[in-house]
Amino acid sequence: MSSSTMSRPATTRPASNPRRKRDNANGWAFATPFLVFFLVFLVWPIAYGLYMSMTGKSLTGANDDVIGFANYAEAFADADMWHSLGNTLYFTVISTVPLVLVALAMAALVNIGLPAQWLWRLSYFAPYLLASTVVSLFFTWMYNPQLGLINDALTKIGLPRVAWLNNPDVAMWAIVIATVWWTVGFNFLLYLAAMQNIPHQHYEAASLDGAGAWRQFFSITLPQLSPTTVMIIILQILASLKIFDQVYQMTAGGPGGSTRPVVEYIFETGFTGYRLGYSAAISYIFFGLIVVVSIAQFVLTRRRSA
Amino acid sequence: MATQTTSRTLPPTSPARLENPRPPRRTMTTGKIVALVVAALIAVLWLIPFAWATVTAFKSETDAAAPKVSWVPPSGFTFDAFAKVFQDGNIPLWTWNSFYTSAAITLITLVISALVAYALSRIDFKGKRLLMGVIIASIIIPPPVLIIPLFYQMVALHLIDTSWAIILPQVIHPAMVFVLKKFFDQIPRELEEAAVMDGASRMRIFTQIVLPLSRPILAAVAIFVFISAWNNFLWPFIATNDNSLLTLPVGLQTIKSAYGIQYAQNMASALLAALPLIVVFLFFQRQIVKGFATTGLAGT
């Protein structure tokens, strides 16, 4: 067998039996460690969760009977579930917009060629390295109605105090502000890396044609960034749909359930309400939502680039 | 022009740009000065939470809870809050827990992902396409969906309230398998052929030729996995209630209720929890930024 056959993909290579056998054995041997974890800690729980969602399983172990789709029927009639699903979608919409636009603005500013690049990267990205609990402690303290820094600043410029985390009309926005501060640095990095990969010849040619900085941003930078923008929006929507940590830590879903996202409802139904089966059913409704959103994004982006 | 989606691959004549992209130097124009001012304002805004937490942590509890907001406390700065937090001993313990669980998760993830990625990239075996399809499809699974069955599974395996319960379910990163496979695909096969002719085994080729060439991507994946594990909250929060096993993010959640309105101690704990990664970032900023730029679009 010549060495050149090594470098051909399987489809064009005539198979020789002992080689093929060895490849089969080797391939699965290399895959096995991952597969074991994959099957035990991903495939099995996904399958078992589906089964649980059809039972009355509870943490008290009272009722393990299979009850078919009763949990799903109950969930679809459960106003609390719809409310939490609505909160998750609301958060996703009002957080994705600033998380993309602020990141783009930050990257555009830094990419103009400002001195001390490391300083900007550090200050914009550093919050992303914090655990959610640290962010929640910081912001709960700053949002404190009487002693907080933000209300102090508001009163100094003659504005009324705001009950940031205790007013149902404001609480979700307070969480969005904390979230933007926390995670926008990630999108900023992705944008900055993409901007720095745009060939400079484009800008040089535009400069010769007399295009100013704004013009160049809108006619070169933005179009060149559009694949990155699409990816960032997709990743951001999927990330925002999973919102739980900062809400649970800052408002525990309150006031009056006004910020409770669906993941928190899953958590509470299962671990505070002890209804594991019902909780698994809501998990699957949430999973269905993620799948639908992902497929929609896939179809939309494919049509776009086709 | 508006729909242009050409690949942003650089011409081969300018490889330097990949390393350190720098626009041609021009003089400071008015536009640039405006940009500098705006960028600085955002930076200040972004640093305020850190600054305010730091100032609070160095206050006495009385000053921290004073109704009048002060950047310089009337009774001076003090280490009291930090001393109290250290006396409790929880933060150092939780930091250690976070460190070794995250390190174990990173190590296991790297080993199992690199192995399967190599097989997917280089070995033609039966069922490869199916395996690849299943791994890619699994990227879509949101971790919160798994918490209920995983908890049940951990109880059945008697792993609840052990570090294994925290570690084991966090080592599957299908997106990282994909990132590694893409990198291995780019390594010229010629490099391996000589070794094949010499009769080297697959494992030898993998460990002695492919892995050494893959250090940058391995580092990028390691950074991504380590930071995700270090900061993960939901699963470790469910997996253990034992105070001596808590990771930093979960432990902090418990002190919030323990310290209540002890604002200085709250902030001191939060800062101590934030410190390790911030320090690491200060030293390895380049690598971390590059790592996130590489893994970022595939990850999360």
**Cα(A23)–Cα(B121) distance, integer angstroms:** 12
What's the pLDDT at A1? 39
Q: Is B146 on the interface with A (CB under 8 A)?
A: yes
Residue B209, chain A, CB below 8 Å: the answer is no
Interface predicted TM-score (ipTM) = 0.85
Which positions ≥6 away from B260 have C-beta within 8 Å? none
Dihedral sign computed on CA atoms, order A75, A81, A86, A91: negative
CB contact under 8 A, A45 and B26: no
- Which DSSP category does A197 fall into? T
CA gyration radius, chain B: 24
pLDDT band at A97 (very low <50, low <70, confident <90, very high): very high
Domain parsing of chain B, residue ranges: 33-78, 90-295
Q: Determine the residue type at A122.
A: L
Answer yes or no: do A123 and B46 touch at CB < 8 A.
yes
Please determine, for residue B214, whether its predicted confidence score (pLDDT) is greater than 50: yes
Q: Is A55 left (phi over 0), alpha (psi -120 to 50) or beta?
A: beta
In this prediction, residue A183 carries a pLDDT of 94
Does residue B17 carry a pLDDT above 50?
Answer: no
Q: How many CB atoms lie within 10 A of CB A175?
A: 26
Which chain A residues have a beta carbon less than 8 Å from that of B197?
3
Q: If 0-12 CB within 10 Å is exposed, 13-18 middle and 19+ buried, where does residue A242 land?
A: buried
Q: Does A42 have pLDDT greater than 80? A: yes
How is chain A split into domains, by residue range? 3-52, 71-305
Contact status, residue B100 vs residue B163, Cβ threshold 8 Å: yes
Nearest residue, CB atoms, B193 vs list A3, A129, A140: A3
Of A219, A227, A290, the CB nearest to B140: A290
Would the CA dihedral through B242, B247, B253, B254 be positive or negative?
A: positive
Superfamily grouping for domain B90-295? MetI-like (1.10.3720.10)
Which of the residues B85, B101, B148, B211 would you substitute to probe the A interface, choosing the one with the greatest number of A C-beta atoms within 10 Å? Answer: B148
- What type of residue is A281? A
Question: What is the second-level CATH architecture of the domain A71-305?
Answer: Orthogonal Bundle (1.10)
B279 at A interface, C-beta within 8 A: no
Asked if the model's pLDDT at residue A292 lies above 70, the reply is: yes
- What pLDDT digit, counting tens, does each position of B109-167 carry? 999 999 999 999 988 889 999 999 999 889 889 999 999 899 989 988 999 889 999 99
**B1 pLDDT tier (thresholds 50, 70, 90):** very low
The whole-angstrom separation of Cα A227 and Cα A195 is: 12
Confidence of residue B259 (pLDDT cuts 50, 70, 90): low
* Token couple for B186: 């780019």
Annotate B192-207 with DSSP letters as a single string. HHHHHHTT--HHHHII
d(CA A127, CA A259): 23
DSSP per position, B162-184: SHHHHHGGG---HHHHHHHHHHH
Give the C-alpha separation, B297 to B116, whole Å: 21
Q: Give the residue carrying structure tokens 């006396």.
A: B87
Please, which residues 67-96 of chain B have a Cβ atom closer than 8 Å to chain A? 67, 69
Tens of pLDDT, residues A213-272: 788 888 888 888 888 899 899 989 999 999 999 999 999 887 888 999 999 999 999 888
CB-based contact (8 Å) between B104 and chain A?
no
pLDDT of A62 strictly over 70: no
